């Protein structure tokens, strides 16, 4: 019986350990699968938007202001008044004198004019500004993420080209050393190639440094594990921007300008609030006085209770040092908000003009590389290889031709990356967050 129990316990432990091992294997396998999938730009954009604490903070602030706007529109809580009046000090009796009473009352304050409604509108406008600021920050975040991913893409390609060039120069060095042994090349040629290889090694170290910095920047938005995944091998293809006139119309609906619109509305409500301060506020008191005992005239009648009400009204007679200054200050704030919108609009239009010109110029250069420079470089490489096979040129010429082709291909990649970054800037100016 005991042996059976021991066997059952061992089986139970084995099952638990097996389940743990299977769970660990599944975790590592799933991580390995994810880690091996190329990191595309759309995936980076989704991760950045979903994880950005800045956007969550702005949404939380907007939610807080929405709730606060409801509270700002409410009257202050009424106040309960309790007390005693006309209590004789010789006996502290509540029945000795006719005018001794216990007071119970309610007091309510009513602000000046429509101050509460205006304050509520102002807070709602500020909430709207935070919501629109979240949209603008999302567009800016996407722009920054796109530029970082594209820079990372370019330097990854640069690393590949540098290593391929280094392989070509190593072959070229071996060929030159062989020629030098056979007195067909000089020592200067050998030293020059060694210098070129050293420069390529230094370039590779610099490129690796840039890659590490860019992956750290990308990891700020998507996490270190995601940032260290291999990149997708192609640049994303976005549709061409609309005509310039269409862009100039669309930019008027940019989220940044919408933020300014909301801030202007909040400033206008502040001006209206300041104007309401010229009106009197007032306070209402309603009380009930309870008297005890009977009248002192010998009639034996019970003393009657009292009820009372009073209104306290502000008298805004001296407004030059308070209301006038507050109104002037709010008017200046409104002017500053309107000027902010004008400044932002001009900045956006300046960037639109510049980025549109850059995109058009880079599109022309990309077409030139695609139609002429790259084909010519490939043709030059093939011609050099054919001449080498026919013994009409040396290996050095062939290797340099192929190295030149790689360099031209990298130059085109840089143009395509800069063109894509310019298109990303135009997408930001359109306020597009897809």
Tens digit of each residue's pLDDT (9 = 90 or more) over 227-264: 999 988 888 888 999 999 999 999 999 999 999 999 99
Residue 12 has pLDDT above 70, yes or no: no
Instruction: Enumerate residues 6+ apart whose C-beta is below 8 A from 120.
Output: 69, 70, 72, 73
In a domain, 104, yes or no: no
Cα distances (Å, whole numbers) of residue 15 to 20, 29, 63, 276: 9, 21, 50, 77
Flag the least confident range among 52-61, 81-90, 229-238.
Answer: 229-238
In a domain, 188, yes or no: yes
How many CB atoms are located within 10 Å of the residue 92 CB? Answer: 10
Average pLDDT, the chain: 88
Residue 249, φ and ψ in degrees, nearest 5:
-75, -45
Average pLDDT rounded to a whole number, residues 377-390: 86
Buried b / exposed e along 299-335 (16+ C-beta atoms within 10 A): eeeebeeeeeeeeeeeeeeeeeeebeebbeebeebbe
* Interatomic CA distance for residues 137 and 147, integer angstroms: 15
Q: How many residues does the chain have?
A: 434
23 class by beta-carbon count within 10 Å (0-12 exposed, 13-18 middle, 19+ buried):
exposed
Tens digit of each residue's pLDDT (9 = 90 or more) over 365-380: 999 999 999 999 999 9
Tens digit of each residue's pLDDT (9 = 90 or more) over 164-220: 888 888 888 888 788 888 887 778 878 888 888 898 899 899 999 999 999 999 999
Whole-number pLDDT of residue 23: 45
Whole-number pLDDT of residue 233: 82
Residue 139 has pLDDT above 50, yes or no: yes
Average pLDDT rounded to a whole number, residues 305-328: 93
Whole-number pLDDT of residue 434: 64
Residue 295 near residue 98, CB atoms below 8 Å: yes
In a domain, 92, yes or no: no
Residue 35 has pLDDT above 80, yes or no: no
Residue 279's H or E segment, with its range, is: none
In what side-by-side order are the strands of the sheet with 282-290? 79-85, 101-110, 282-290, 306-313
In a domain, 3, yes or no: no
How many CB atoms are located within 10 Å of the residue 241 CB? Answer: 20
How many CB atoms are located within 10 Å of the residue 25 CB? Answer: 10
Average pLDDT rounded to a whole number, residues 385-404: 82
In a domain, 26, yes or no: no
Whole-number pLDDT of residue 190: 83
Tens digit of each residue's pLDDT (9 = 90 or more) over 314-324: 999 989 999 99
Residue 9 has pLDDT above 80, yes or no: no
In a domain, 157, yes or no: yes
> What percent of the chain has pLDDT above 70?
91
In a domain, 388, yes or no: yes
CATH code, 241: 1.20.1600.10
Tens digit of each residue's pLDDT (9 = 90 or more) over 353-366: 999 999 999 999 99
More confident residue, 264 or 298: 264
- pLDDT band at residue 91 under the 50/70/90 scheme: confident
For 157, left (φ over 0), alpha (ψ -120 to 50), or beta? alpha
Whole-number pLDDT of residue 309: 94
Tens digit of each residue's pLDDT (9 = 90 or more) over 92-133: 888 888 888 999 999 999 999 999 999 999 999 999 999 999
Residue 282 has pLDDT above 90, yes or no: yes
- pLDDT band at residue 36 under the 50/70/90 scheme: low
Whole-number pLDDT of residue 15: 45
Domain count, the chain: 1
Flag the least confident range among 1-5, 270-274, 399-403.
Answer: 1-5
Range(s) of the domain holding residue 61: 37-75+111-280+315-430
DSSP letters of 372-397? IIHHHHHHHHHHHHHHHHTTSS-HHH
Residue 4 has pLDDT above 80, yes or no: no
Residue 304, φ and ψ in degrees, nearest 5:
-80, 155
In a domain, 84, yes or no: no
């Amino acid at each position: 019986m005991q042996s059976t129990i021991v066997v059952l316990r061992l089986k139970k432990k084995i099952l638990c350990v097996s389940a743990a091992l299977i769970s660990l294997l599944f975790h590592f396998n799933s991580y390995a699968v994810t880690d091996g999938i190329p990191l595309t730009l759309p995936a980076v954009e989704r991760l950045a938007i979903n994880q950005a604490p800045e956007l969550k903070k702005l949404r939380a602030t907007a939610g807080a202001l929405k709730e606060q706007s409801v509270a700002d529109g409410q009257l202050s809580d009424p106040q309960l008044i309790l007390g005693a009046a006309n209590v004789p000090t010789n006996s502290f009796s509540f029945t000795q004198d006719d005018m001794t009473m216990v007071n119970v009352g309610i007091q309510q304050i009513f602000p000046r004019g429509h101050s509460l409604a205006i304050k509520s509108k102002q807070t709602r406008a500020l909430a709207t500004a935070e919501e629109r600021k979240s949209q603008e920050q999302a567009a800016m975040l996407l722009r920054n993420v796109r530029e970082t991913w594209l820079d990372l893409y370019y330097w990854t390609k640069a690393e590949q080209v540098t290593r391929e060039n280094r392989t070509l120069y190593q072959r070229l060095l071996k060929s030159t050393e062989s020629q030098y042994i056979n007195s067909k090349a000089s020592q200067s040629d050998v030293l020059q190639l060694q210098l070129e290889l050293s420069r390529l090694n230094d370039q590779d170290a610099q490129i690796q440094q840039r890659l590490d910095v860019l992956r750290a920047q990308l990891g700020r938005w998507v996490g270190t594990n995601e940032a260290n995944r291999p990149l997708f091998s192609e640049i994303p293809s976005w549709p061409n921007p609309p005509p310039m006139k269409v862009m100039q119309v669309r930019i008027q609906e940019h989220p940044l300008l919408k933020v300014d619109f909301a801030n202007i509305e909040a400033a206008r409500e502040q001006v209206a609030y300041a104007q309401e301060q010229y009106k009197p506020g007032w306070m209402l008191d309603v009380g009930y006085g309870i008297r005890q005992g009977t009248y002192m005239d010998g009639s034996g009648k019970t003393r009657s209770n009292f009820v009372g009400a009073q209104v306290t009204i502000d008298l805004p007679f001296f407004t030059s040092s308070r209301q006038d200054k507050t109104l002037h200050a709010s008017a200046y704030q409104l002017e500053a908000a309107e000027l902010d919108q004008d400044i932002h609009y001009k900045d956006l239009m300046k960037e639109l003009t510049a980025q549109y010109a850059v995109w058009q110029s880079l599109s022309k250069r990309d077409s030139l590389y695609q139609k002429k420079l790259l084909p010519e470089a490939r043709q030059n490489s093939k011609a050099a290889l054919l001449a080498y096979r026919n013994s009409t040129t040396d290996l050095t010429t062939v290797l340099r031709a192929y190295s030149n082709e790689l360099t031209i291909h990298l130059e085109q990649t840089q143009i395509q990356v800069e063109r894509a970054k310019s298109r990303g800037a135009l997408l930001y100016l359109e306020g597009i967050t897809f």
